[in-house]
Amino acid sequence: MFGKNRRRCGLTVRTPHWSTRLELVLAEPSALRVLDTASIIQLAKNVRREISKPSVERWIQEAVAANRLQRVVRGLFLNRLISPLPQLCEAAVWLRPGAVISLQTVLGDSGVWNNYTPWVTAIVPLSSRYTTPSLGRVDTGGGTFVFRGVSERVLEAGAERDRLITGIGYRRATPEAALLHWLYLSGSPRSDMSTPPLDLDLAALDLKRLKRLAIGMRLDANLTIWRDRNVGQEA
C-alpha cells in the first residue's frame, strides 16, 4: 500500500502508506512486544505526524481482525508482527504492576511439575507502600491470568540472579523461587493454596540456589518440613 508521491532526482517515488510504515516499525526486533493504545498512536505519529487518533484506532481494529495484534484487554495488545511471537505472560506486568510470573506456570514449563496449566500464574508484591492490588482470576482475550499476593519482603529476598530468570524482557521467577512462593502462600492465612504436591521433580532444581533463597525468604524451616514429606513419600 502506498501513500503520497514524492520527486527525487527527477523521478517520482511513491512513499509507502503510513500503515505500512507503522507495521514495518512494529516488526523490528527492538519493537515493543506488548503495546497499549497510547503507544501505538505515538508510533503512528512518528511515521506520519499529522495522523489522527481515529485513523490509528481504525487501523488497530483492522490489525486485530487480521491477527497482527492480539487483544489482551481493552487498550492492551500483543504485537504479533514481531518474531519470536510474544507470549501472554509478557502482558502480566501491564495488568498488575510489579507482577512476576511464578508458581504453576514456571514449575510446569520447567518440567518440575508434571501438570501443564494453560493459565498464567503470577504473584504481585504486597506492601503498605502500595495500594492493595486486585487479586484472583482475570479472564482476557488472550487467556486466563491468576494473580496472587506475596509480601514484598519475600518477593525481593535473595540475589536477583537466584530469584529471576535473566535474559528475557519480563519478570519471571526461577523454578526454585516459584516453589518457595508456593510454600509461602500455602502457609499464609490469607491464601487458599494448598502445599506444593509431593511428586515435584526436585532433581530438576538447583538445590544450592533453593537453599540460598529459602534462607533469604525465611522459609528454610518450611522447606525442610516439605522436603521431609517428599522423601518420606518416595520411601
Give me the percent of the chain exceeding a pLDDT of 90: 66
Q: In this predicted structure, what is the pLDDT of residue 221? A: 93
Q: Which domains does the chain have, with CATH numbers?
A: 2-79 (1.10.10), 88-234 (no CATH)
* Residue with grid cell 483492522, as numbered in its chain: 62
Cβ-contact 1, 16 below 8 angstroms: yes
16, pLDDT greater than 80:
no
Q: In this predicted structure, what is the pLDDT of residue 69? A: 96
Least Cα distance to 175 among 93, 108, 94, 100 occurs for: 108
User: Letter for the amino acid at 86?
Assistant: P
pLDDT digits (tens, 9 = 90+) for 117-168: 889 999 999 887 777 788 999 999 999 999 999 999 999 999 999 999 998 9
Q: Compute the Cα dihedral for 73, 77, 80, 83 and give only its sign.
A: negative
Distance CA 96, CA 226 (A): 30
100, pLDDT greater than 80:
yes
User: Letter for the amino acid at 109?
Assistant: D
- pTM summary value: 0.85
User: Which of the pair, 6 or 123, is modelled with greater confidence?
Assistant: 123
With cut-offs at 50, 70 and 90, classify the pLDDT of residue 2. Answer: very low
Helix (H) or strand (E) holding 183: helix 175-186
With cut-offs at 50, 70 and 90, classify the pLDDT of residue 9. Answer: low
**Mean pLDDT of the 97-119 span:** 91
Cα 109 to chain centroid distance, Å, stands at: 14
**Mean pLDDT of the 83-89 span:** 93
With cut-offs at 50, 70 and 90, classify the pLDDT of residue 47. Answer: confident
Least Cα distance to 30 among 43, 17, 47, 19 occurs for: 43
